[in-house]
Structure 1
Amino acid sequence: MIPPADTLLKYDNPVLVNKSTDRKSPKGRPLKVSPQQPIDSTPVPPPPKPKSASAEATKQENEELLNSILPPREWMEGNQLWVQKVSSTPCTRADVLHLEELLNTKLQQRQAKETGICPVRRELYSQCFDELLRQVTINCAERGMLLWLVRDEIQMTIAAYQTVYESSIAYGMRKALQAKKGEADMKNRILELENEKQELKKALNEEKAKCETVEKIEAEKRQLEEKRHDDEIQFLKRTNQQLKAQLEEIIAPKK
């Protein structure tokens, strides 16, 4: 026999069910190792029926409602199908205290975190909630129905938060990859700009060298032109003095 997973939810002893008969039964369910059901596949329990004068009929109705809210566990052993339903025995104050002690023990044994996100702690508290739901449903079907709705609402909220968390993780990974790729592109762009900068510096130095050479040549030309100009001025001055002296010699005898 494959024993189902240990849980805080109280079950009756497992019962051997005929495989062929059970398959024809509309209540046949696949193997489950946990009493919790997915939110989307949780069967909607029928509304509580009016109280009957017969205690046996009322007990049967409560058991059907209890099985609808907390479906039985099933597993296969060879060709045999075993079914284990939740217990319909009313609880006492001692049972509640024992449940609290058992919860604390399992939290310590499985080393559940006291704070933050902890799947182990969440699983154990969910099992404890199901056990409380079972106890309440046995005593008051209407209160159990309302508590069942509260449980499913909490599960849907947690599932929504989990979906948002997974989406945010995927979005963060995409952004991280994009940023990493952008960083590589930026580094390549920086290298290209550095190379371009070096080339521009080299071209600038060449232009400066050309400019200095041109300035030097032009300065030499300017000095030669100034010297030539000064020589011409001196020549013209001497020529003017000579012509002036000759003119004075020509004019002087006439006096």
Structure 2
Amino acid sequence: MPKNDRSPHFTSAAPLPKVDVAHTAFLLDFDGTLVDIAPQPDAVHVCAPLRETLAALHAACGGALAVISGRTVHDLESLLALPGLVIAGVHGAERRYADGSFVRLNTDADVLAELERELRAELTQLPGVMLESKGIAFALHYRHTPDAENTVLALADRLAHRYSDHIRLQAGKMVVELKPRGASKGDVVHTLMTERPFMGRTPLFAGDDLTDESAFDAVNALDGWSIKIGNGPSQALWRVHDPAALRTWLAAMVADRRGGA
């Protein structure tokens, strides 16, 4: 049965499919997908076996591997340390390609500076809520103060309306972000799939959060493999329990590839 013949609201409980590495484009979220969610962004841990798996997968698929994340490109480069990896950061607002070239959406630095000043002033009244500045986007983390959720969302919504010519609101797991207009993981998927070495392959995207739903939609439209990590409703067609399960699947795929070779 063709992959996209399933209802977009159905997520398979069956084991993940066996994919042809040589003809698949691997597009992967980071936090909550490749690595476990940490109490705060700078506490995340990338284990050596994951680095080894990604390096082997990168080689096996001819470089058609990209990490698409809300983190900055610089942050992901530091954490993964995999030369030649394509990285889309800040939900696609910035990208680093395999040849080292870097592109970023045009933004108004003065407007973003004013937005950051206003956020910092507002958060003095919200102890426990952490502001993560990404230069061209801002994340409000309330994992340590879940009771502040409604207040944080209301603040973000108000500012998103005020600065609507420049930013959009993006909700996530215990976080809400104000990101540049035009930044979408779904758009990243569509763009990469028109570029080498991704074009002509079947796209596979794995993600865990609301920020990943546009990428699931894009992959489904391309008759690819969409994989949700964890619980909750999703447009993804497949599901695994946690990041450890996805890491195990990727490692087994690489091992099978080596065995076949």
TM-score, normalising length: structure 2:
0.25
Larger Rg: 1
The structure with the greater share of residues assigned to strand is 2
Select the structure with the greater relative contact order (CA < 8 A; seq sep ≥ 6): 2
The structure with the greater share of residues assigned to helix is 1
